[in-house]
C-alpha cells in the first residue's frame, strides 16, 4: 500500500501540526522573559542529569562487581 508523503494510513497530519506549531510559536514570542524562571528550569534540569548520572554509574559499578 502506497502512502502519500503527508499521510499515514489515511490520516493527514501535516496541517494540524503546522497550525499548532504556529500558535505555540506565537505564544512563546509574546511571553515575557524571566531570569528567575530560567534559573529554576536549569536547576531542575541539572539535578535530573546528576541523579541519572549517579544512577547509571551505580548500576555500572554493581554490574562490573558481579561479573
pLDDT value at position 1?
A: 45
SS (H, E, C) 16-61: HHHHHHHHHHHHHHHCCCCHHHHHHHHHHHHHHHHHHHHHHHHHHH
pTM, whole model, 2 decimals?
Answer: 0.52
| CA 14 to each of CA 2, 7, 11, 28: distance values in angstroms, whole numbers, following the listed order | 17, 8, 9, 21
Task: Tell me: pLDDT of 56 over 80.
Answer: yes
Can you tell me the mean pLDDT for 17-36? 80
Q: How many CA atoms lie within 13 A of 48 on its CB side?
A: 6
Q: Is the pLDDT of residue 61 over 70?
A: yes
Amino acid at each position: 500500500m502506497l502512502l502519500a508523503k503527508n499521510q499515514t494510513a489515511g490520516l493527514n497530519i501535516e496541517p494540524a501540526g503546522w497550525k499548532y506549531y504556529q500558535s505555540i510559536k506565537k505564544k512563546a514570542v509574546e511571553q515575557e522573559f524571566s531570569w528567575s524562571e530560567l534559573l529554576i528550569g536549569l536547576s531542575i534540569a541539572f539535578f535530573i542529569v546528576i541523579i541519572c548520572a549517579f544512577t547509571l554509574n551505580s548500576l555500572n559499578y554493581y554490574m562490573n562487581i558481579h561479573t
